[in-house]
Structure 1
Amino acid sequence: MTASLEQLRRCHFAVDLGAARTRVYVKGSGLVVDQPSVAAVNTRTGALIAVGEFAERMTGRTPHYIRVVRPVSGGTVVDIEMAQRMLRHLLGDKMRRSLRRKPRLRAAACTPHDSDPLAQRATIETLVGLGARRVELVDTLIAAAVGCGLPVERAEATMIMVCGAAATQVAVLSLGSIVTAERIPVGGEAVDHAIVQHLRQQHALTLPSQSVRPLQIALSGNGITSSGPTSTEIHGRDVATGLPRSVRIDTAAVRDAIQTPLTAVLDGIGKVLRECPPDLVADLADRGIMMVGGSALLPGLDQMLRQATGMPVHIAERPDVCAVRGLGEMLEGRIEPLVLDPLSA
């Protein structure tokens, strides 16, 4: 379900509910919220203790009666009530009062490609709980392509790859629509999990939840390419004794562990290209792939895709906010609709 540009121009605010971060764009004010999709709850009283960055820092460091939850998983709202409470606190009283004064408050939201009706309904109910009288849904692939400046309305191929925390979406766009697309259930979290499993199996080491990020472990320098650092020292907890321990690991072995989930991404790109008309594939040979999303910043990922596909690979400017920026462009009316007038008989 994708709303028309005319419907989006009537919206007052837009929300990108991601598995990793939540972003809110308010018409006329710009991006007002860019925080992790995390909330901390007191299980004794049910009170919300913290949201956003502060709640994320609490992960793994709380007493037993405080639970850190993520109401969004894989771009889908899994806990509507908690998502509403999180959004209310992220927006703040002043911004919520300003939005409530709008007559017939309308909202727009990103949804993953081919999301099922239940997932779409959960997103709609979340925003209706914030006071929206109507919610327009936009495919994340279209919003991200608009946000990074791709000429999606032209009769030529553009290929976009949305690298999220829980999934990667790949699509070829032309004439303002999706020609072929694939959603691969592999994202930044899968890369983190592959590193954690490798360190646990090969070094009997458990990492703190805040130290799992690939940039902090072995992917500094030139990233997942072989020209990166040969070894790195990390700190964690010994699986057997539970005591803190530091080990020096071979980054080549870590790169091999990461290749497994990334192979699924390469397979998804190949499937999209095979299903794409030959004329559009010829366009992509010159234009290549545009990478957006937070996981697009994984060092060396663009170089790996370039070597595997033989196509140019580009990373968008500020790739993590492209989707909500695209929604903002539509809300502000900066995107001209594509008009295809039927020929008269």
Structure 2
Amino acid sequence: MTVSLELLRRCHFAVDMGAARTRVYVKGAGLVVDQPSVVAVNTRTGGLIAVGEFAEKMTGKTPGYIRVQRPISGGTIVDIEMAQRMLRHLLGDKMRRTLRRKPRLRAAACTPHDADPLAQRATIETLVGLGARRVELVDTLIAAAVGCGLPVERPEATMIMVCGAAATQVAVLSLGSIVTAERIPVGGEAVDHAIVQHLRHRHELMLPSQAVRPLQLALSGNGLTPHGPASTEIHGRDVATGLARSVHVDTAAVRDAIQTPLTAVLDGIGKVLRDCPPDLVADLADRGIMMVGGSALLPGLDQMLRQATGIPVHIAERPDVCAVQGLGAMLEGRIDPLLLDPLAA
């Protein structure tokens, strides 16, 4: 494995800071934080009013002096100070005191594939501000593969697809390392935006920010396939009059709108397969693709990928927490390192 398992075993806690949710795993305690990466700030005083789920519920409903913001954008920390304040509040005083008692506190963190040095530095500085003396960075693809139980250490191909809010990462792994990978700047947020724009242009309806996800769930069951429900009722605001209005939305048209941004994801998968050695591609014909990440739960996405690629597609048991659970398994020492003994002369 490209990251040192010995160094990770010395870490005391692990953080997966994503564009949608922040998760913290503490050694010996398990997953202690799983909250939206959102803060509500009083612009008059600079104080935090809310973090996590309560702050997310405030989106679009605040008076002028309260600003709801996300310190993480595109999978990268864009406001280090606000990210530190958010983490402090999410951890709570009791857990922070417990961590501060650790001699030479060490932390591990997920970083997107091919993250630039500035993004890596922002992650390190955020955790150093929480008291960490050393920070180990782990590629999200490897952490997620470990978290969903893929045999990443074996000399055979495993393909993983991390469906995040801001981006989708696809990779083929073998012998504990990434053989070929691609990061596509299309994620769950792009799908949400496509739905909002479709309703605005086709029905002249502005959709509240909290209503996008229920609309996706309304496609339930077969979701992106033609066998889903024919129509569903959506409540929003009329673009012209500003009054509340309800419309019956043709789900087939919504499926077409969703598939437009997902075309880039299919292109990325095709590029990874083209760059992969033929022997590993042969393994993938049987093993298929493992989908993780919160956007992997988009109804019907797995069927769409299966039809486009012709190889099996599976969704992890708990796709949203695979990355942080993989970090936790490394911290707890549940992953055995691959030993390649040199041949005797």
Q: Same fold (TM over 0.5)?
A: yes
Residue segments in structure 1 that go unaligned for 5+ positions in a row: none
Q: Which residue of 1 aligns with 2:182?
A: 182
Deviations 1:226-265 (A, max 9, x none): 0000111100000011000001111111111111101100
Residues 51-103 of structure 1: CA deviation (Å, up to 9, x unaligned) = 00000000001000000010011211000000000000000000000000000
1:308 is aligned to 308
Q: Which amino acid aligns with 1:64?
A: G
Q: Which residue of 1 aligns with 2:95?
A: 95
Amino acid corresponding to residue 315 of structure 1 in structure 2: I
Alignment of 1:131-142 (within 5 A): 131-142=131-142
**Change beyond 3 A, Cα 1:42–1:95:** same
Match of residue 69 from structure 1: 69
Q: Equivalents in 1 of 2:113, 2:281: separation in Å?
A: 21
Residues 1-345 of structure 1 mapped to structure 2, 5 A cutoff: 3-213=3-213, 215-216=215-216, 218-345=218-345
SS in 2 for 1:233: strand
- Separation in 2 of the partners of 1:233 and 1:107? 47
Shift of residue 156 of structure 1? Answer: 0.2
* Contact 1:81/1:126 (8 A) holds in 2: yes
On the 8 A contact 2:273/2:281 being kept in 1, the answer is: yes
| Alignment partners' CA distance in 1, 2:8 and 2:176 | 15
How far did residue 344 of structure 1 move?
3.0
Q: Report the secondary structure of 2:270's partner residue.
A: helix
What is the alpha-carbon distance in structure 1 between the residues aligned to residue 313 and residue 219 of structure 2? 19
Query: Distance in 2 between the 1:2 and 1:106 partners?
Result: 19
1:193-223 per-residue CA deviation (whole Å, 9 max, x = no partner) reads 0000000001110000100116556422321
Determine the C-alpha separation between the residues in 2 that align with 1:200 and 1:277. Answer: 45
- In the alignment, the residues of structure 2 paired with residue 292 and residue 275 of structure 1 have an alpha-carbon distance, to the nearest angstrom, of 22
In the TM superposition, residue 120 of structure 1 has moved relative to its aligned partner by: 0.2
Separation (CA, whole Å) in 2 of partners of 1:165 and 1:10: 30
Q: How many residues align?
A: 345
SS in 2 for 1:59: coil
Any unmatched runs of 5+ in structure 2?
A: none
For 1:133, the aligned partner's letter is R
Supply the RMSD in Å over aligned alpha carbons.
1.1
The Cα shift of 1:2 comes to: 5.4
CA displacement at 1:340 relative to structure 2: 1.1
Superposition TM-score, scaled by structure 1 size: 0.99
In 1: Cα distance, 2:173 partner to 2:269 partner? 14
Q: Is the 8 A contact 2:217 2:299 kept in 1?
A: no
Distance 1:343 1:221 in 2: 54
Q: Structure 2 counterpart of 1:196, which letter?
A: V
**Partner Cα separation in structure 2 for residue 195 and residue 299 of structure 1:** 14
Distance of 1:219 and 1:78 partners within structure 2 = 34
SS at match of 1:212: helix
Cα distance, 1:341 vs structure 2:
1.6
**CA distances 1:7-39 after superposition (whole Å, capped 9, x unpaired):** 000000000000000000000000000000000
Q: Distance in 2 between matches of 1:3 and 1:281?
A: 25
Q: In the TM superposition, what is the alpha-carbon distance from 1:327 to its structure 2 partner?
A: 0.1
- 1:157·1:172 contact (CA, 8 Å) conserved in 2? yes
Q: How far apart in 1 are the matches of 2:126 and 2:107? A: 11
